[in-house]
Amino acid sequence: MERPLLEARGIGKSFPGVRALDDVNLTLAKGSIHALLGENGAGKSTLIKILTGVHRLDEGELLLDGQPVRFADPHAAIAAGVGVVHQERNLIPRFSVAENIMLERLGPSVLSKVDQSVLQAEAKRWLDLLELDVDPATPVGRLSAAKMQLVEIAKALSLRSRVLLMDEPTASLTPHETTHLFALLERLKRDGVTIVFVSHKLEEVLQICDSVTVLRDGRNACQSQSMAGMGRQDLVRLMIGRNEQIPAWAERDRTTEPVVLQLTDVSTMLGHKNVSLTLHAGEILGLYGLVGAGRSELAKCLIGLFPIASGTVAIDGKTVAINSVSEALHRHGLGYVSEDRKGEGLVLAHSVLANAGITVWSKLAGLLGYLKDGTVRSRVSPAIERLEVKTPSLAQQVGLLSGGNQQKVSVAKWLAAGVKILIVDEPSVGIDIKTKAYLHELLRALAEDGTSILLITSDMPEMITLADRISVMDGYRVTGTLVNNRDYRQMSEGIMRLIHGEEPAEDRVVVA
């Protein structure tokens, strides 16, 4: 067999409280398209960051052309020929396409004159190679997302990248643009470029990848296996493990309970069209969809961060107009556990007490807003204890806790507030298995106690473990709703069909 172009051997990486990668191997053959798969939190992004020099590895080694390499920083990786096309664009919006591609090579010294025509001629070569028909003098900020991505690919290629990491490259592309991109990747492959393709969309992986590495819980579920003969089921099985991971909990039906949250033909300023959902008291309604289906965005419209354009939202049967999170929380008892724990969920620099109590300050404050730590503590402690947050004290800075404990705190603050409706967005991203199982039990227990939960997750086993019913979203619409019979295979297939809109009415369960 030919010597692999890039090889990762026994990679280990730990963060405080979490073992992100454990003895992970990856072998990339020259001129191939290699899929890197795994659920959220499986260690994919950590591995990518190690390959591109963002993180240093704790254990193991990287071999490029058989030679051990160490990337001190991202630029070192690029210089060694490992290019990356990120979801967030690494382009200078006001610079021309040519200048962005050639940014590394503007001139020999800082005082040398930048000859735009030379840059444009050179850039044109790479654009032509990609059959990208844009004027190299156009400012990048004026291009569509798809074209910007192609510019990034052109830039990586022009730096003699032999390995091209593509992180969710099709997330913001139309089907037509995706087809074009795939034709291009095929061509690059024939020219000897190795492409690492990271995607949630398994159809795409099946369509264009030659080999696959799947990560699960920071370990290899499979290592550089050929895609020949592999089907979607095989990939899903590798990603999520076998079916018995679903706990044998009883099926629940809460549709006879009163409706607490009802969306009727809701359209939003973010682009949702005619979304209708029904959430009953004590029910867990799942909202499944691929990344970019508009689920978190819908949640943010519901809690008043973005306006609703038309349709009605009713809570406990009364039509409501929620203009801020403060109203959602204090008037309607509606809370939101954000998927972006570090950005939106928690104030990392503040204490556990301040984070868990943030939702109850207004309620607890006395005359002139008087509020002692003790008052907050007595309100928050039960929630912290119920969630078994492991912290030396309530005064501990949240940013220093492990991911799992951080997530517990971000749930605890809504428990402390005593919300009736809780929207939970990707609750188990970046937390360990034990905490995840614990959170599942907790959410189930909360629902048993009467809290209504709208669960957003891309983690299929999590969805089937927890949800009573599952609504599927695609392209900012709800494509259907299924009753969860806890049969993993049936449910996952039903959901997939709804995502692709293959199965019309018969799978939809008419909601009373």
| Site residues for other proteins per CB under 8 A | 74-75, 78-79, 89-95, 99, 103-104, 106-107, 109-114, 141-142, 144, 303, 305, 324-326, 328-330, 336, 338, 343-351, 353-354, 357-359, 361-362, 364-365, 368-373, 392-393, 395-397, 400, 413, 417
CB of 34 to other proteins, least distance (A): 23
Classified as helix, coil or strand, 320 is strand
Which CB sits closer to other proteins, 63 or 325? 325
Helix axes 116-129, 145-158, angle to 10 degrees: 100
CB of 95 to other proteins, least distance (A): 7
Which CB sits closer to other proteins, 62 or 329? 329
The torsion angle over the Cα atoms of residues 299, 304, 309 and 313, rounded to 10 degrees, is 70
Which CB sits closer to other proteins, 7 or 152? 152
Give Cα separations from 166 to 72, 242, 474 (angstroms): 21, 28, 23
Of 136, 197, 193, 137, give the one whose Cα is nearest residue 163: 193
CB of 238 to other proteins, least distance (A): 32
CB of 484 to other proteins, least distance (A): 28
Specify whether the CB–CB gap between 238 and 222 falls below 8 A.
Answer: yes
Which CB sits closer to other proteins, 46 or 359? 359
CB of 110 to other proteins, least distance (A): 4
Q: How far is CA 22 from the centre of its chain?
A: 21
Classified as helix, coil or strand, 255 is coil
Which CB sits closer to other proteins, 326 or 378? 326
Of 181, 164, 206, give the one whose Cα is nearest residue 31: 164
Which CB sits closer to other proteins, 239 or 353? 353
Which CB sits closer to other proteins, 33 or 156? 156
Contacts of 290-293 with C-beta under 8 Å, sequence gap 24+, read 290/200, 290/201, 290/458, 290/474, 290/499, 291/168, 291/171, 291/200, 291/458, 292/171, 292/172, 293/473, 293/474, 293/475, 293/476, 293/499
CB of 18 to other proteins, least distance (A): 15
CB of 326 to other proteins, least distance (A): 5
Which CB sits closer to other proteins, 90 or 225? 90
For 63, how many CA atoms within 13 A lie in the half-sphere containing its CB?
A: 16
Which CB sits closer to other proteins, 256 or 393? 393
Give Cα separations from 331 to 322, 327, 377 (angstroms): 9, 5, 23
Specify whether the CB–CB gap between 9 and 25 falls below 8 A.
Answer: yes
Exposure b/e, 222-247, CB count within 10 A at least 16 = b: bbbbebeebeeebbbebbbeeeeebe
CB of 17 to other proteins, least distance (A): 11
CB of 78 to other proteins, least distance (A): 7
